[in-house]
Amino acid sequence: MILHDKEIRRLISEDRMVENWDPELLNPASLDLRLGGTLMVEVEHTSELQEQSIEHCTPENPYWLAPGEFLLAETQEIFNMPNDVCGVFCLKSSRAREGYEHSHAGFADPLWSGSKLTLELVNARRFHSLPLYPGLKIGQMVFVITAGIPSISYAEVGHYNNQPRVMPSWEGSL
């Protein structure tokens, strides 16, 4: 069952399911998420993505995501998922219509906690760059209650708990 606004607000208030959230971004059945201040970008001399701050960027002076460019980004929000709730990240349709793409890897397991969501972003446009800056409404999290409490705990088997910043693959570089 997908959670509605009142239940999302209750879980945030009682269980701190989402930290650093803005109540203005609550939708009928999701929570809008904002882009954080750190990216991991590809550079020519190494296959490992390099961390880059965009804290100084604004809508008027953004970081420009070039056509075809891939990078990792983070949300401003930090998640502490309950043991019976998972979350699915969806790119905002307005961003998709502008040419942003996301790799559909933004799944939040029950008991994923203390972490910002890492986003895999690509500019699908052929000729024009797309702006990135902290606070950009990039997507939304849809929260789903599980049919019961899982027997496998992400708190024990997960690789991305307590990651308060954008994270590369835990499996290492290419």
Q: Does a structural domain hold residue 161? A: no
Domain containing residue 138: CATH number: 2.70.40.10
pLDDT in tens, 58-89: 999 999 999 999 999 999 999 999 999 999 99
Rounded to whole angstroms, the Cα distance separating 36 from 38 reads 6
- Within-domain flag for 65: yes
User: For the chain, how many structural domains are there in total?
Assistant: 1
Inside any domain, residue 165: no
Domain presence at residue 171: no
Residue 174's pLDDT band (boundaries 50, 70, 90)? very low
The answer to whether 64 and 158 are in contact (CB under 8 A) is no
As a whole number of angstroms, the distance between CA 70 and CA 78 comes to 23
Q: Which residues span the domain enclosing 15?
A: 5-43+52-147
**Is residue 160 domain-resident?**
no
Tens-place pLDDT, residues 86-117: 999 999 999 999 999 998 787 899 999 999 99
Is residue 91 situated within a structural domain? yes
Tell me the one-letter amino acid at 2.
I
Amino acid 78: pLDDT: 96
Q: Which of these is catalytic: 19, 69, 120, 156?
A: 120
pLDDT of amino acid 171: 59
pLDDT of residue 167: 76
44 catalytic, yes or no? no
101 occurs within a structural domain: yes
Dig out the tokens for 121 from the structure. 């972003």
- Whole-number pLDDT of residue 170: 62
DSSP codes, 95-152? HHHHTEEE-S--EE-TT-EEEEEEEEEEE--SS--EEE-TT-EEEEEEEEE-SS--SS
Q: Does residue 124 have a pLDDT over 60?
A: yes
Checking if the pLDDT of 172 tops 60, the result is no
Q: Which pLDDT score is estimated for 52?
A: 96
Residue 153 lies in a domain: no
Residues 20-58: pLDDT tens digits? 999 999 999 999 999 999 999 988 888 889 999 999 999
